[in-house]
Amino acid sequence: MATFSDCSTIISLDNINPRILKCDYSIRGEIVTLAQSLEKELQAKPGSQPFDEVLYCHIGNPQYLGQQPITFFRQVLALCDYPAILDKRETQVLFSADAIERASKIIDQIPGKTTGIYSDAQGIKGLRDTIAAGIEARDGFPADPNDVFLIDGATAGVQIMMQFLIRSEKDGILCPIPQYPIYSASIALHGGSLVPYYLDEAKGWGLEVSELKKQLDYAKSKGIAVRALVAINPGNPTGQVLAKDKQCEIVEFCKQEGLVLLADEVYQDNVYVPEKKFHSFKKISRSIGYGEKDIPLVSFQSVSKGYYGECGKRGGYMEVTGFGADVREQLYRVFCANCCANIPGQILASLVMSPPKVGDESYESYCAERDGILSSLARRAKALEYAFNSLEGITCNKAEGAMYLFPSIQLPQKAVKAAEAANAAPDVFYCRRLVSATGIVVSSGSGFGQVPGTWHFRCTILPQEDKIPAIISRLKEFHTSFMDEFRD
Tell me the per-residue pLDDT of 290-327, one tens digit each, with 9 for 90 and over: 998 899 999 999 999 999 999 999 999 999 999 999 99
- Cα angle value 115/116/117 (rounded, 5°): 95
Lowest pLDDT segment from 21-35, 161-175, 181-195: 21-35
Domains of the chain: 18-54+368-486 (3.90.1150.10), 125-353 (3.40.640.10)
The residues that bridge with 196 in the sheet, in sequence order, are: 175
Q: Does residue 262 surpass a pLDDT of 80?
A: yes
- Report how far residue 383's alpha carbon sits from residue 405's, in angstroms, rounded to the nearest whole number: 11
Closest by CA position to 350, among listed 124, 159, 137, 142: 124
Q: Does residue 1 surpass a pLDDT of 60?
A: no
Q: Residue 43, SS3?
A: helix
Tell me the per-residue pLDDT of 322-363, one tens digit each, with 9 for 90 and over: 999 999 999 999 999 989 999 999 999 999 999 999 999 999
- Report how far residue 61's alpha carbon sits from residue 261's, in angstroms, rounded to the nearest whole number: 27
Q: What percent of the chain has pLDDT over 70?
A: 97
For the residues 441-457, what does the mean pLDDT come to? 92
pLDDT band at 477 (very low <50, low <70, confident <90, very high): very high
For the residues 32-53, what does the mean pLDDT come to? 89
Q: Does residue 284 surpass a pLDDT of 60?
A: yes
- Report how far residue 246's alpha carbon sits from residue 83's, in angstroms, rounded to the nearest whole number: 47
Q: Residue 299, SS3?
A: strand
- Report how far residue 384's alpha carbon sits from residue 404's, in angstroms, rounded to the nearest whole number: 10
Let me know: does 356 contact 72? Beta carbons within 8 Å: yes
**pTM for this structure?**
0.94
Average pLDDT, the chain: 93
Let me know: does 458 contact 443? Beta carbons within 8 Å: yes
Q: Does residue 4 surpass a pLDDT of 60?
A: no
Q: Identify whether 234 is preceded by a cis peptide bond (ω within 30 of 0).
A: yes
Tell me the per-residue pLDDT of 76-118, one tens digit each, with 9 for 90 and over: 999 999 999 999 999 999 999 999 999 999 999 999 999 999 9
Q: If 0-12 CB within 10 Å is exposed, 13-18 middle and 19+ buried, where does residue 310 land?
A: buried
Q: What is the pLDDT of residue 14?
A: 77
Q: What is the pLDDT of residue 254?
A: 98
Q: How many CB atoms lie within 10 A of CB 366?
A: 20
